Chains A and B, each alone.
Chain A
Amino acid sequence: EVVLTQSPATLSLSPGERATLSCRASQNVKTYLAWYQQKPGQPPRLLIYDASNRATGIPPRFSGSGSGTDFTLTISSLEPEDSAVYYCQQRSDWPPLPFGGGTKVEIK
């Protein structure tokens, strides 16, 4: 079973700064990795799928990269509305369909 480890647990940055979130898989998941954003009181929203493909309606400041076991979600210039918890999820080896533990992005 694939285990996804996200880091850091919390990221505190100012508007306009670049955010770099990491997701590490316990085994090779090729590029079958997705990222979701969850704001308080809301359901998760798909941001990125298959490592680097933005979902419909996602702004270009969100980008994903990586393959194999190491993946990155980058928010190029933080907006106040980007304050959320971000989860990664793999689909290379399922079931189950694990999510990472999440990274909380705080905007100063």
Chain B
Amino acid sequence: EVQLVESGGVVVQPGGSLRLSCAASGFTFDDNAMHWVRQVSGKGLEWLAAISWDGGTTYYADSVKGRFTISRDNNDNSLALQMNSLGPEDSALYYCAKDKGYLVATMILESWGQGTLVTVSS
């Protein structure tokens, strides 16, 4: 069974930085691209970033480009999201998600974690 467990969400001050992690299990991690998606409480879903199976290619939404960095460690079956220059608008529940494709990014988000909550507040 696919398991994705996010961690690292905390309360952080505006302008601060935070690193989120996602521990993956139940599948061959380096077979699949991975994604980060966030959701403001009571609102819709916002895709943030994706990374290819080998980490060689990354994609970002304009809203986070230059501030957030997605990375992965295939030896450790983990995904990360480094977030810098955080503002109140970044307060949300952050999900990691597994892409459906095998060795190709299909942009179909097949499995999701439970999310980790980030609050940006002074």
B-binding residues in A (CB < 8 A): 34, 36, 38, 42-46, 49-50, 55, 87, 89, 91, 94-102
Residues of A within 8 A of B100 (CB): 46, 49
- How far apart sit A44 and B44, CA to CA, in the bound complex (Å)? 11
B62 and A87 contact, CB distance less than 8 A: no
B112 and A96 contact, CB distance less than 8 A: no
Contact residue among A45, A55, A101 (Cβ-Cβ distance under 8 Å from B44):
A101
A44's nearest neighbour on chain B, judged by CB, is: B112
With an 8 A cutoff between CB atoms, is B68 at the interface? no
Contact residue among A38, A42, A49, A95 (Cβ-Cβ distance under 8 Å from B50):
A95
- How far apart sit A44 and B35, CA to CA, in the bound complex (Å)? 13
Given A43-B114, A97-B50, do A34 and B108 touch, yes or no (CB 8 Å)? yes
- How far apart sit A44 and B39, CA to CA, in the bound complex (Å)? 10
A91 and B114 contact, CB distance less than 8 A: no
Residues of B within 8 A of A42 (CB): 114
A97 and B47 contact, CB distance less than 8 A: yes
The 9 A-B pairs of least Cβ separation, nearest first, read A91-B107, A43-B112, A97-B47, A99-B45, A95-B59, A96-B61, A49-B108, A102-B44, A101-B44
On chain B, the number of residues with a Cβ less than 8 Å from chain A's Cβ atoms is: 23
B32 to chain A minimum Cβ distance, whole angstroms, is: 13
B108 and A91 contact, CB distance less than 8 A: yes
Interface majority SS (helix, strand, loop, mixed), chain B: strand
A91 and B106 contact, CB distance less than 8 A: yes
- How far apart sit A101 and B112, CA to CA, in the bound complex (Å)? 19
A70 to chain B minimum Cβ distance, whole angstroms, is: 20
A36 to chain B minimum Cβ distance, whole angstroms, is: 7
A41's nearest neighbour on chain B, judged by CB, is: B114
B108's nearest neighbour on chain A, judged by CB, is: A49
Given contacts A45-B112, A89-B47, A97-B47, 10 further A-B contacts (CB under 8 A): A34-B108, A43-B95, A46-B110, A49-B108, A89-B109, A94-B107, A97-B61, A98-B47, A99-B44, A102-B44
A53's nearest neighbour on chain B, judged by CB, is: B108
